[in-house]
């Protein structure tokens, strides 16, 4: 059974977290390369590592490699005046927002140790969130043609997106991940075309907005950790040796 090192990075600058993810990905790729030249019973083989990072960012918009800059509705001056950062990054997907009250999850997994299927991987990220929101009496759904976790349309409300997903893989090692709106200030999404979806029938929401009260974010983190462990079939190794 694989072991995953969990780290809650707390509030961290986006670029700092991005650089840290890249360093961990490089570490995992280096282990793979070194092990490839060794026999299975060679004592010099290293046990592969995996990481699950949770964090929160100060306000920042990130644009995926397939996204359009037109989906950012603020100028550089307006970004500066509102103290919002902006980065073009190497994940899939379009533009999204990260900020206070959001759980941003970065799994750094070597999928060679689990399964080599990127679509299954994304479905597992969605499923962890779907199982988590079920604890709060909400039915998270997948919407055909879109990634992430949604709430279904009702008579008086459109489809609402609770969680955005965008990933990057190198030699089957993952980085980036998901942004799950818990107590997130949703007005920030008015400055972008979220995930490139310009449709009045599709909006962004949060657990707080849906339930009408602030949510204990630490409780949500614990639920997410459990569902990740159950879905991927690993155990947590909280302390890195």
Rounded CA gap, 9 and 58, in Å?
Answer: 13
> CB under 8 Å to 18, separation ≥6 — which residues?
87, 89
Question: Do residues 168 and 99 touch, judged by C-beta distance below 8 A?
Answer: no
Q: Strand pairing of 60-63 and 3-11?
A: unpaired
Quickly count: other Cβ atoms within 10 Å of residue 163's Cβ: 28
- CA distances from residue 198 to 59, 98, 188 in whole angstroms, order as listed: 21, 19, 15
Q: Is 55 an annotated catalytic residue?
A: no
Summarize the confidence of residues 7-27 as an average pLDDT. 97
Could you read off the pLDDT of 117-169 as tens digits, one per residue?
A: 999 999 999 999 999 999 999 999 999 888 999 999 988 899 999 999 999 99
Tokens representing 57 are: 């960012």
Rounded CA gap, 162 and 164, in Å?
Answer: 7
Rounded CA gap, 168 and 108, in Å?
Answer: 10
Rounded CA gap, 2 and 17, in Å?
Answer: 24
Could you read off the pLDDT of 188-220 as tens digits, one per residue?
A: 999 988 887 777 788 999 999 999 999 999 999
Q: Catalytic residue among 55, 113, 163, 195, which?
A: 195
Rounded CA gap, 76 and 149, in Å?
Answer: 30
**Domain ranges in the chain?**
3-236
Question: 240: pLDDT confidence band, cut at 50, 70 and 90?
Answer: very low
| pLDDT score for 238 | 64
Query: Cα-flanking dihedrals φ and ψ of residue 134, to 5°?
Result: -60, -30
CA dihedral 137, 93, 121, 215 (to 10 degrees): -30
Could you read off the pLDDT of 59-117 as tens digits, one per residue?
A: 999 999 888 999 999 999 999 999 999 999 999 889 999 999 999 999 999 999 999 99
Please report where in the chains the tokens 């700092």 appear, as a residue: 16
Q: 3-236: what CATH class?
A: alpha beta
């Amino acid at each position: 059974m694989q072991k995953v090192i969990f780290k809650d990075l707390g509030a961290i600058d986006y670029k700092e977290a991005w650089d840290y993810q890249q360093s961990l990905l490089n570490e995992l790729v280096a282990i793979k390369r070194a092990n490839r030249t060794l026999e299975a019973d060679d004592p010099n083989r290293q046990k592969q590592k995996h990481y699950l990072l949770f964090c929160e960012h100060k306000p920042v918009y990130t644009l995926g490699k397939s996204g359009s800059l037109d989906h950012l509705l603020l100028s550089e001056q307006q970004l500066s005046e509102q103290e919002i950062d902006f980065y073009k990054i190497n994940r899939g997907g379009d533009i999204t927002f990260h900020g206070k009250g959001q759980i941003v999850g970065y799994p750094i997994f070597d999928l060679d140790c689990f399964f080599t299927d990127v679509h299954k991987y994304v479905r597992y990220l969605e499923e962890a969130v779907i199982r988590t929101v079920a604890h709060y009496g909400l039915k998270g759904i997948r919407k055909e043609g879109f990634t992430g976790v949604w709430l279904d349309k009702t008579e008086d409300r459109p489809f609402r997106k609770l969680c955005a997903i965008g990933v990057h893989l190198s030699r089957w090692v993952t980085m980036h991940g998901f942004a799950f709106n818990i107590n997130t200030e949703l007005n920030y999404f008015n400055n972008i075309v979220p995930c490139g979806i310009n449709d009045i029938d599709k909006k962004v929401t949060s657990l707080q907005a849906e339930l009408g009260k602030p949510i204990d974010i630490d409780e949500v983190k614990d639920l997410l950790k459990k569902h990740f462990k159950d879905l991927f079939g690993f155990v947590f190794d909280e302390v890195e040796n």
